[in-house]
Structure formats: structure tokens, C-alpha cells
Amino acid sequence: MAKREKKNPRKRTNKDIPIRLAGETAEWEAIPLHISQTIKTDKLPRLKRIHQSISKSAKLSMPPVYLAPYGWVRPDMEGSIYGKTGPVNLGDHYEFAVELPITTLLYCDDLLLRRILIHEFAHYFHRIERLVETGNSSKNKSTQREVSDTTTEWIQKLIEGEDERLKADLSDWLSEDDAKLDIDYDDPAFEPVDHRFIENWIGELPTCTPEIVFDPGECRLQVSSDIYQRAKMLKQKE
């Protein structure tokens, strides 16, 4: 039986580090030591390296990425959820960011991990564009999310093609090569990864179904200045 993820886990953050840990210390301690060591010594450096590579190619800051101490399972228990984009609760404000479960790092190779990040970055940039378009954003200004879906509703939107509508044109944000690497979560490349996740993780290790989208109400969203300026420039070009 999948556990429900806590709604507002404490976030440990350093604004100068693009890869950050989400969750409580006790949640990380529930991960077997050999897996924790693999994440620390191999998977986190790899994630940081890929994140930096995308940023360097784009000549632009990339969104912060939070790592959750769980495997994320779909409500039907038939596969993994590989990432999500949304407001991360930091206590006194929210930071709009990408979140990944540790299983995405453990089971995806370098290319697939890069493509997942690019997919989630497309959602991130779309959201920033929308905030600038409606005049509700600055680097630290109150705003409000438009939608609040359950995970099941979100997955239905993926099936219906809604996910594509909520992504930015990556050619406005990333290098030409990276912009071509966006991937949909129904791609056959995920089938062997889902199989490994079901066989090796579910029922044995910490698992939850995350809240994919939620409405925090009025909040202050922290966005890096160069991303905000790029979104303003794109708006002015329209």
C-alpha cells in the first residue's frame, strides 16, 4: 500500500545550490544505507553535472531541483512518476521548482534523466511565462496558481494531451540540441524503467503518490532574475 506524501515537508535549502533535498531527516534515514550512499556518491553528482550541462548550453540558469526521499508510484500502482513541477513550500514562501523522486536517479540512465529534466523545465518555463503575461510576477511577488488537480486527474490530462499545452517552447529557453530532447511520459523508453521500479522498489522501500499540482493560495514565489528577465523579453517580443 503506497503511503501518502506529507503535504508540507520541511525543505533544506541553500539558494546557491541548484540541487536540494526535500523532506525530513527521518525520511532520508528510512532509505537503506547502501542506497543512500549510492545517491550521495554517484547519483547526486550525476544529477548536478547534467543540470549544469543544460544550463551551460543554454547560457541561462536552470530551475532548482529538489530530490524527494521516496519512490513515486502512480495511483494505479503500475508505474513510476518521474518528476513534477510546482511551488515548493519553504516555510515563509514558496519556490517554484522541479521535484524528482530518488528512483528517477536510481533507475534512469544519463540520457533519460536529461530528457526528464528538460520535460519538467518546459513546464517550469511555461509557468513563469504565464506569470509575466498576467502581470502577477516579479522575482518575489505574490501570485496564485490557476489549477489544483489530484494526481489521478493529472494523469488523465497526460492521456488527453493536456500536458503538452502546459509547456513552453523550449527553443526560447534551451540550446537547439537540448530543445529536441523533450520526452513525453508515455514514451516507450520508460517501459523497462517502470518494470524495474515495480519489481525492485514497490512494497520493499519507501513509496508514495505525490501531489502533482496544488494551489497554495496567495504566496510569494522566488524566481531567479535571469529566468524572469528572459520571460519578460519573450513577452515583449510578442
pLDDT in tens, 114-153: 999 999 999 999 988 988 887 654 444 433 333 334 445 5
Instruction: Give the span between the Cα atoms of 132 and 229, in whole angstroms.
Output: 10
Q: In the numeric block, which cell numbers belong to residue 183?
A: 520526452
* pTM of model > 0.85: no
Of 138 and 215, more confident: 215
Residue range 55-78: average pLDDT?
A: 93
**pLDDT band for position 60 (cuts 50, 70, 90):** very high
- The yes-or-no verdict on residue 217 having pLDDT over 50 is yes
Residue range 183-210: average pLDDT?
A: 93
176: phi then psi, degrees, rounded to nearest 5: -60, -40
Residue range 214-236: average pLDDT?
A: 77
